[in-house]
Amino acid sequence: MLVLGIESSCDETGVALFHTERGLLAHAVYTQVAMHEAYGGVVPELASRDHIRRLVPLLERVLAEAQVSKQDIDAIAYTAGPGLAGALLVGASFAEALGLALDIPVLPVHHLEGHLLSPLLAKTPPVFPFVALLVSGGHTQLMRVSRVGAYELLGESLDDAAGEAFDKTAKLLGLGYPGGPALAMLAEGGKPGRYKLPRPMLNSGDLDFSFSGLKTAVLTQVRNAELSDQDKTDLAYEFQEAVTEVLAAKALAALAQTRLDQLVVAGGVGANRRLRQRLDAVIGKRGGKVFYPELELCTDNGAMIAFCGAQRLLAGAKPKGDGGFAIRPRWPLSEV
């Protein structure tokens, strides 16, 4: 079965072809980062309009790369939520129209489920059950994953998501958008111990997170003094230490609580080198193993949507089949 995946929930247009026997045949992503940079964040209307421009050329590219034609596609999966309503609508209408034209099933997919299952696309995938740490721009969650479609929430951020904290802190330090990778890069040159930042909820005894206080602590430093470039570097270093320490400690606690030994990391912050280092260290020490998606599949992409749709169809999911639009800008993963 050949599944076309369409991702358009935020500022990346992703299109991919996944074959249930042959694997990922092709995937292409167009990122709108340069366009939104001037505004310091994603402008939803501009995002929607750009998705419209990119979808057809990206589809043509993946078809050529995979050396298949539109008629070879057996089903289409698209991100129906969560995300920006206008942006989601572009992908949804594109997918539904193409599905109607080709007379094939169309399946709405949950964006986070896509992220969650993306490590299964790696060369050495985890096996069910496992614990997933989902760290994206909008979510920070720990989940027990028993099989495709069975996700139990163990803990989550009570305020800012980890990626959001990275982005907001980067902005405070005068870094461009997107802030996460920029802050991570700056932190590389930081000196340990120059600043003291809190480790929010490290010892809260549960698996929840809170990151907004950390951003406020950085704001206080920024307001208190004129920061030199080295100060900013050291502050970025300490911020990254604080976030990754809490994430690693809670991920370890989640494994202990569920008595599982595999941790799957998904979402944009999963690309963070320091986080990977820490997770490998603390979990490896306890005999556990950490699984990451391929680096290019950490941030938003169509491959995870095609893969997720394929798994859902294999598990017997029934597409709607009425040609209507199903977008859910707010869609808890527990409701998939």
Residue whose CB is less far from ligand KG4, 181 or 309:
181
Amino acid found at 260: L
Q: H helices of the chain, where?
A: 33-37, 44-66, 85-102, 111-117, 162-172, 179-187, 212-224, 229-258, 273-285, 303-314
Contacts of 146 (CB under 8 A, 6+ apart): 128, 129, 152
According to CB under 6 A, which one of 119, 181, 190, 200 is a site residue for ligand KG4?
A: 181
Binding partner of 311, given ligand KG4, Zn ion, none, CB within 5-8 angstroms per partner class: none
Instruction: Give min distance, CB of 268 to ligand KG4, in A.
Output: 2
Nearest to 229 by CA among 173, 178, 281: 173
Q: How far apart are CA 302 and CA 4, in angstroms?
A: 8
Nearest to 331 by CA among 114, 155, 95, 178: 114
Q: Which residues of the chain form contacts with Zn ion (CB under 5 A)?
A: 136, 300
Residue whose CB is less far from Zn ion, 289 or 328:
328
178 binds ligand KG4 (CB under 6 A): yes
According to CB under 6 A, which one of 99, 180, 190, 319 is a site residue for ligand KG4?
A: 180
Residue whose CB is less far from ligand KG4, 30 or 166:
166
Torsion angle, CA of 38/178/166/169, rounded to 10 degrees? -20
Instruction: Give min distance, CB of 184 to ligand KG4, in A.
Output: 4
Instruction: Give min distance, CB of 9 to ligand KG4, in A.
Output: 7
Residue whose CB is less far from ligand KG4, 244 or 319:
244
Binding partner of 239, given Zn ion, ligand KG4, none, CB within 5-8 angstroms per partner class: none
200 binds ligand KG4 (CB under 6 A): no
Instruction: Give min distance, CB of 274 to ligand KG4, in A.
Output: 8
167 binds ligand KG4 (CB under 6 A): yes
**CB-based contact 222:173 (threshold 8 Å):** yes
According to CB under 6 A, which one of 292, 299, 302, 307 is a site residue for ligand KG4?
A: 299
**CB-based contact 312:281 (threshold 8 Å):** no
Residue whose CB is less far from ligand KG4, 206 or 296:
296
Within residues 58-117, the interface with ligand KG4 by CB under 6 A covers 115
Residue whose CB is less far from Zn ion, 8 or 262:
8
Nearest to 242 by CA among 284, 208, 204, 195: 195
Binding mask 251-280 for ligand KG4 (x = CB under 6 A): ----------------xxx-xx--------
**CB-based contact 16:305 (threshold 8 Å):** yes
- Cis-peptide into 57, omega within 30 deg: no
Torsion angle, CA of 272/275/280/283, rounded to 10 degrees? -140
Residue whose CB is less far from ligand KG4, 105 or 268:
268
Residue whose CB is less far from Zn ion, 297 or 313:
297
Q: Which stretch binds ligand KG4 (CB under 6 A): 46-54, 93-101, 125-133, 163-171?
A: 163-171
**CB-based contact 115:304 (threshold 8 Å):** yes
Residue whose CB is less far from ligand KG4, 136 or 233:
136
190 binds ligand KG4 (CB under 6 A): no
Q: How far apart are CA 37 and CA 178, in angstroms?
A: 8
Instruction: Give min distance, CB of 36 to ligand KG4, in A.
Output: 12
Give the up-direction half-sphere exposure of residue 145: CA atoms within 13 A in the CB hemisphere.
29
Interaction site with ligand KG4 (CB under 6 A): 10, 115, 136-138, 163, 166-167, 178-181, 184, 267-269, 271-272, 299-300
